[in-house]
Amino acid sequence: MSESRTLQRRVDRHRPQQCAAGFENVEIEPWRVYDVEDARAFLTESALDVDVLAPQVEGRFLSAFVRASKPAASCCGPSCCA
């Protein structure tokens, strides 16, 4: 499976969660996929074994822009919209 297709599958897993929370028009735009060197940078500050963990992190973390809209609440009666 290609890297871009795998990335898209990971992103698509989160779309139903946003919809279940009441959001519509959900767009998730991956911004950065973290690699081994990125993992080294943040794992070095911890007490963890960087050489063991860094390769396991490659491609598993990403940052993304998430855009969605929440529909306006429907009016429940004359007192709520006044």
| pLDDT (mean) for 58-70 | 85
Structural domain includes residue 44: yes
Interval 33-49: pLDDT, tens: 888 888 777 777 777 88
Q: Residue 63: which domain range? A: 3-69
pTM above 0.75, yes or no: no
Query: Helix or strand or coil: residue 4?
Result: helix
Interval 2-30: pLDDT, tens: 666 777 787 788 888 888 888 999 988 88
Q: Using CA atoms, how far apart are residues 66 and 62, in angstroms rounded to an integer?
A: 12
Q: What's the domain count of the chain?
A: 1
Structural domain includes residue 79: no
* pLDDT greater at residue 45 or residue 66: 66
Structural domain includes residue 33: yes
Structural domain includes residue 50: yes
In the Cβ-directed half-sphere of 65, how many Cα atoms lie within 13 Å?
A: 4
Tally of helices (H runs) and strands (E runs) in the chain: 4, 2
Structural domain includes residue 49: yes
| Sequence-distant (≥ 6) Cβ neighbours of residue 75 within 8 angstroms | 81
